Amino acid sequence: MKVSATYYDEIFDFKGQWDIPSKCGLKIIKKRGEIYVIVTELYQENTGTSVTYAGKSLRNQICESKGLNPVEIVYLECTPDTSSVLSFYDEQYFEVTFNETPQASYRKLSQEETEQIFIII
């Protein structure tokens, strides 16, 4: 299951759980005063930790690498469309909020919200 490069601008190498070398797709969009950091699961191309399990650590590694402040970004996880017959491989975007607790909050973006991020104006 190969993920189309249209979902990301670069492959980002990160330390996953137990410092296992891992990879994700990364796209950063600056729009209307917001900075969207979008991480995309690469499935078979990533033999390490998934973006969901890396969570806050991945966000912090990206922010450190790119000179971003974690509290000033909108962090999104993307499950890309891989043309699979399984519905959990359909394209979906989730806004992830990290709290003081180890548990993150996930909110699925609507189609309209997703389109607003990617529409070029």
Using pLDDT thresholds of 50, 70 and 90, give the confidence band for residue 22: very high
Q: How does pLDDT run across 27-64, given as a tens digit for each residue?
A: 999 998 999 999 999 988 899 999 999 999 999 999 99
Q: Measure the CA–CA gap between 121 and 113, rounded to whole angstroms.
A: 15
* pTM of the complete model: 0.89
Find tokens 């980002």 and name the residue.
12
Domain extent at residue 18: 5-118
**Nearest one of 81, 86, 76 to 107, comparing CA atoms:** 76
Q: What is the pLDDT of residue 44?
A: 84
**Cβ atoms 17, 49 nearer than 8 A:** yes
The count of structural domains within the chain is 1
Q: How does pLDDT run across 79-121, given as a tens digit for each residue?
A: 887 666 655 556 899 999 998 877 899 999 999 999 999 886 5
**Nearest one of 23, 38, 37 to 70, comparing CA atoms:** 37
b/e map 32-47, b = 16+ CB within 10 Å: eeebbbbbbbbeeebe
The stretch 16-23 carries a mean pLDDT of 94
Beta-carbon contacts of residue 10 (< 8 Å; ≥ 6 apart): 25, 26
Question: Coil, strand, or helix at residue 32?
Answer: coil
> Cα separations (Å) of 6 from 3, 23, 26, 39, 44?
8, 16, 11, 13, 17
Q: What is the pLDDT of residue 102?
A: 73
Q: Measure the CA–CA gap between 19 and 115, rounded to whole angstroms.
A: 35
